[in-house]
Amino acid sequence: MSHRNHKRTQEARRSRFPRFSELDHCSGDRDKVRYRDKKMAIQFLHSFQNKAAVQIVELGHTNRKECRVYQCGTCKGWHTTSQRDWVLGA
Ligand SMILES: [Zn+2]
């Protein structure tokens, strides 16, 4: 029985950008995807907006309406929202 200790570095597999399916969810709203920080939230927001632009060109409409990011008071993570005029904690 040969036991190979071939170590493959985990760091290399860990891309700087996680897959959408690997992301956590908000502890207060399980439907919301939680981003670790603002930078990550904005990167995803931009990718959503790119998809939206493609959908509009190809289909004439889009179901992607995310337009901004905000920090969540419940999970302390970041979320994207489609609400343009949301008011900061009343
Ligand atoms: Zn949250």
- Per-residue pLDDT band for 87 (boundaries 50, 70, 90) equals low
Instruction: State if pTM tops 0.75.
Output: no
Domain locations along the chain: 24-81
- pLDDT greater than 60 at residue 15: no
User: How far is ligand 1, taken at its centre, from the CA of residue 7, in Å?
Assistant: 37
73 CA from centroid of ligand 1 (Å): 7
CA of 51 to the centre of ligand 1 (A): 23
Check if the beta carbon of residue 48 is closer than 8 Å to that of residue 69: no
The tokens of 74 are what? Answer: 């419940």
- Please answer whether residues 67 and 84 qualify as being in contact, where contact means their C-beta atoms are separated by less than 8 angstroms: yes
